[in-house]
Amino acid sequence: MEELKDTSIHHTALRLAEDVKTMKLYGNLYKMVQKLSCSPEVDKDDMKQTLESAIKTNGLEIEIRNVIYHLIRNSVKSDTRPTPASSDPLNYLRRAGIQWERRVRKSLNSMCSESKAQLHGQMRTASDREEILSKWDELSTYQIDLSNYRPVYAPKDLLDVLLSLKGPMKQDETDFLPKWEFSHISLTVKNLFELRVHFSELLRNDNNFGDWSMTCQKILKTHHAPLCQQALKKGVTPPPLRGALWSYVLGSHVDQHHVEHWEALRQSVLTNESIVDKLVFKDVQLTATNDDRYFVFEDVLYQIMLCFSRDTEISQLIQVEFTNSAKAKQYEGPPCGFVPFHGICMLAAPFCYLYDNPVSLYYTFRAFYIRYCHRLTTINTHPQGIVSLCLLFEKLLQTHEPQLWSHFRELQIQPIRVVFKWLMRAFSGHLPPEQLLILWDLILGYDSLEILSLLAIIILSFRRESLMQVTSVENIEAILSDLSSVKVLPLVQLTLSRD
């Protein structure tokens, strides 16, 4: 058994070593090890031991550990296991995801035809190039006609598709299962007890928060990503240290190749215009510009989202399947691999509170989007994808708030409709920024989006009395429209500690 274990570890190590070689940072790591090999710290007669010691004393071991940590985390793709279509109960859901992506791409291509614009852009005129360059730091003053442009889709459009999904259901179960909107979907989601176990560290009675800022500073000095992730689990991250902790957890520290890539994206924006540029400007103007908490970041959001839409590395890292039939007509998407939706810039806006440097902001936002947010905007079978979060929300509501559940059913209002925008935007634009950042601390600390469904239930639960007194969806939405009084951490702790 030990031999098998050793063999398995050996093969895993070999595979990881090969994966590291394909990464852009490999060249720098290799050069650093080469320099150490030639240093006086390494004895050629005892190369292995002395080189390992030199790697540790020079801090290179932690850097390599962090690389492996992020490589292992990002290589776990629950949707990539091949399953025969005939035996896969979720095959219809995967098909729906492909059809949805095809539909939004088709809408984008139709918009291109109507406006006679090219999807992948065309060269800017010399005058336009000079204007956008001179206004790069003040893009809110860049004049652009958006009167004929509209968002390709909004959260409501995706929800309508999700609610229309029809999957296989066993005949003998139809009379006994509660009629949830997503009950026919064979996805496994946690119950409240399992969530309590997963978020158990939130229930620890640690009262030594006075020294917590100093402890976080010590953690940052270790440069160790898993320790930084552990620090975020408390939900009391010192605001001045949050940006640095997030960068370690997401592996988004900026190296020279990152700066060069950002500059290439920036040059692409300056030299080529695309229809997606218009959608970016439209989205920022419809959302962040009209929000008192984010309007001051309008200029930097234009920079971030314009570069984001051109970043081909995103589509390579997400690796979403877009085609399912050779017969069906295929439609091109933007360089980033997906079509921006109404409100996408609000997923980037909170990062403006953490970073002054747009390059650091960009790479941390990009890493957060790739690891989490893209699962909220596509139809997928991931255990923390938007479908699973909707199912989790409905099961928790029906099980732990039966009175509210019955009230919604009597009014013939689908409960998911009043919270879906919270889930799809991870509460950005709904919670005050300081509370939103605490919520996102917990997402990163526990590597879980399930906290979104849990918080949605908690908010409905604490406003139950008011909700029970109204009879229209408009009044329900009015009651839930202002979340300025919501305190994330105490509410989550209180709910998880209840019997």
Residue range 339-355, pLDDT digits in tens:
999 999 999 999 999 99
Q: Which one-letter amino acid corresponds to residue 137?
A: D
Average pLDDT (364-383) is 94
Helix residue spans in 401-449 (DSSP H): 402-410, 416-424, 433-446
Which pLDDT does position 320 carry in this prediction?
A: 52
Average pLDDT (82-105) is 78
Which pLDDT does position 78 carry in this prediction?
A: 39
pLDDT digits (tens, 9 = 90+) for 18-72: 777 777 666 777 777 777 777 777 777 777 777 777 777 777 777 777 777 777 7
In whole angstroms, give the CA distance from residue 233 to residue 66: 18
More confident residue, 86 or 201: 201
Q: Picking from 274-283, 316-325, 373-382, 401-410, which range would have the lowest pLDDT averaged per residue? A: 316-325
The domains of the chain are located at 1-58, 90-171+178-498
Average pLDDT, the chain: 86
CA distances from 47 to 32, 33, 51, 59 (A): 16, 12, 6, 18
In whole angstroms, give the CA distance from residue 213 to residue 238: 6
Which pLDDT does position 7 carry in this prediction?
A: 66
pLDDT at 6 over 80: no
Q: What's the pLDDT band for 322 if we cut at 50, 70, 90?
A: very low
pLDDT at 377 over 90: yes
| CB proximity list for 181: less than 8 A, separation 6 or greater | 163, 390, 394, 414, 416
In whole angstroms, give the CA distance from residue 247 to residue 357: 13
pLDDT digits (tens, 9 = 90+) for 421-441: 999 999 999 999 999 999 999
pLDDT at 76 over 50: no
More confident residue, 499 or 490: 490
Average pLDDT (154-172) is 79
Which pLDDT does position 18 carry in this prediction?
A: 75
**338: closest CA among 358, 316, 360, 359?**
316
Which pLDDT does position 323 carry in this prediction?
A: 44
Structure tokens given for 32? 């650093």
Tell me the percentage of the chain whose pLDDT exceeds 70.
88
More confident residue, 122 or 219: 219
Which pLDDT does position 489 carry in this prediction?
A: 96
pLDDT at 5 over 60: no
More confident residue, 113 or 238: 238
In whole angstroms, give the CA distance from residue 131 to residue 139: 10
pLDDT at 376 over 70: yes
pLDDT at 235 over 90: yes
Q: What's the pLDDT band for 167 if we cut at 50, 70, 90?
A: low
Q: Which one-letter amino acid corresponds to residue 238?
A: P
Torsion of CA 141, 431, 370, 296, to 10 degrees: 20
pLDDT at 384 over 50: yes
Phi first, then psi: give them for residue 122, nearest 5 degrees. -140, 160
pTM, full prediction: 0.88
pLDDT at 482 over 90: yes
Average pLDDT (119-137) is 91
In whole angstroms, give the CA distance from residue 373 to residue 207: 33
**E strands in 200-328:** 272-273
Which pLDDT does position 171 carry in this prediction?
A: 45
More confident residue, 258 or 31: 258
Owner of token pair 């329900």: 476
Q: What's the pLDDT band for 120 if we cut at 50, 70, 90?
A: confident
pLDDT at 110 over 70: yes
Adjacent-strand bridge partners of 56: none
